[in-house]
Amino acid sequence: MLTCALLVAPLIAGVSGCAGSPDPLSAKPYDAADQISFSGDGDGRKADPDKPLEVTAKGDDSRITDVTAIDAAGRYVRGELAEDGKHWRSTVPLAAGAHYTLKVSTEDSNGAPGRRTVDFSTSSARRLLKVTFGPKAGEYGVGQPITAKLSRPVKDPSARAVIERALKVDSRPAVEGVWHWVDSRNLHYRPQEYWPAHATITAHSNLKGIRIGGGLYGGDAKSLRLTTGDRLEALTDSGTHQMTVKRNGVPIRTIPITTGMPGFDTRNGIKVVLAKESAVRMTGASIGLGAGSYDLMVYWAARVTKSGEYVHAAPWSTGSQGYANVSHGCTGMSTANAEWFFNTVRLGDIVQVVNSNGEDMAAFSNGYGDWNMAWADWRKGSAVSGGQSDTTPADSARLRPQV
């Protein structure tokens, strides 16, 4: 016990002897304004977003220990600090037309901490890229893709990747989806399978102020919210001349139909209801037939291609419905069945045609044929998930209603 007491006593004495020495780490940070400068400091102008943000320690008596730069949206600016603590430089572009708060921590030759906080803004972009999401907000079928239309063409792969990463689509329940570049100004977004029934889907852009490349910056974009209803699918079999309509996988109606005759065969593949028109005028001249071939007002018409394929009432062909294909490309049925179909489907619902001798439905140029592309090929059209695509729209020869 005596030995222990003798050992403890010097330790206590040593502690008491140091009590009066100042600890530089415990001192309140001093104002380091005179020791720090940053790019654009003191010139009264807004910072150039095309140039990196640089922070420099003045003189030999101080060094930088930490730098934090954050914009009003809460986005941090990444950067690198030199080993000697004399210089910090941002490694990502600043946003255009944004407000930033810069916080710099320093220490002097004695280890005392300093601090400088500066608010600054960046100049506005001279060239903006605006994004418009589609379709309009509302309730749709599970086959409705999300679209993004750009105000300017973008072909550079790295610029496309910047844009794609900033365009966000979320759904409840959550499903995996990918953007596909249709061409230099249009992107489509879809999951691997159809959207879930009764889902809520939102699309928004984080592109505002972000440098895309070549002096181009992201502009404003209005967010989009839509929902899906029941999963409604209409399977049109040109071989059996029957349409089977399913709701959430359960057949709810089988309808005798007629589809395109030879030479006007209905396109095979998955289509999406684009529009509903209670009455539409259809003429033979619109598809290259003689002016007097036919001129009809057609009722209860659900459009499925831009080129003019509809599902509609065809009272003139009821004798062939369920037995033969006699139309000029549309799917015809009785007036009662057409009215039921018209009132049952919504935009974005699925109409799939099988066993026709017609061409395959194009993926993009003739409506929403997105679901006809295999998932692996769809991903290749992403600038982030597997490559780029600059598809040129095709299959747009017939652009008028066909009966």
Give the pLDDT of residue 43: 58
272: its two tokens: 């999406």
Query: What is the full DSSP assignment across 199-219?
Result: -EEEEEE--BT-EEETTEEE-
| 90 within some domain | yes
Task: State the pLDDT confidence band at 6, using cuts at 50, 70 and 90.
Answer: very low
CATH at 135: 2.60.40.3710
User: Are the CB atoms for 260 and 358 separated by under 8 Å?
Assistant: yes
Question: Which has more pLDDT, 50 or 345?
Answer: 345
* Angstrom distance (rounded) from CA 282 to CA 355: 25
Overall domain count for the chain: 3
Average pLDDT along the chain: 87
List, for residues 89-140, the tens digit of each pLDDT value.
999 888 888 899 999 999 888 888 989 898 988 888 778 999 999 999 999 9
Give the pLDDT of residue 73: 84
Catalytic position from the list 188, 241, 328, 330: 330
Question: Which has more pLDDT, 256 or 36?
Answer: 256
CATH at 95: 2.60.40.3780
Of 229, 259, 284, the residue that ends a domain is 229
**Residue 187 gets which letter from DSSP?**
E
216, 340: one domain: no
User: Are the CB atoms for 251 and 280 separated by under 8 Å?
Assistant: no
| 249 within some domain | yes
List, for residues 141-156, the tens digit of each pLDDT value.
999 999 999 999 999 9
Q: What does the radius of gyration of the chain's CA atoms come to, in whole angstroms? A: 33
Task: State the pLDDT confidence band at 291, using cuts at 50, 70 and 90.
Answer: low
| 401 within some domain | no
Task: State the pLDDT confidence band at 285, using cuts at 50, 70 and 90.
Answer: low
CATH at 327: 2.40.440.10
39, 103: one domain: yes
221, 248: one domain: no
Task: State the pLDDT confidence band at 250, using cuts at 50, 70 and 90.
Answer: very high
279, 236: one domain: yes
**Residue 124 gets which letter from DSSP?**
P
Residue listed under structure tokens 């999963």: 231
Q: Percent of the chain, pLDDT > 90? A: 66
112, 141: one domain: no
* Average pLDDT of the residues in 184-193: 98
357, 262: one domain: yes
85, 133: one domain: no
Question: Which has more pLDDT, 380 or 10?
Answer: 380
4 assigned to active site = no
Catalytic position from the list 188, 241, 312, 328: 312
pTM of the shown model: 0.75
83, 101: one domain: yes
Among candidate residues 266, 273, 254, the one with its CA nearest the CA of residue 342 = 273
330 assigned to active site = yes
240, 165: one domain: no
* Average pLDDT of the residues in 313-335: 96
108, 149: one domain: no
302: its two tokens: 């659900």
Give the pLDDT of residue 49: 84
39, 88: one domain: yes
Of 175, 200, 229, the residue that ends a domain is 229
Give the H or E element holding residue 335.
helix 335-344
* Angstrom distance (rounded) from CA 242 to CA 353: 10
145: its two tokens: 């893709």
CA atoms within 13 Å, Cβ hemisphere of 197: 12
* Angstrom distance (rounded) from CA 215 to CA 397: 38
pLDDT of 378 higher than 50: yes
194, 259: one domain: no
Per the structure, the complete domain to which residue 357 belongs is given by 232-368
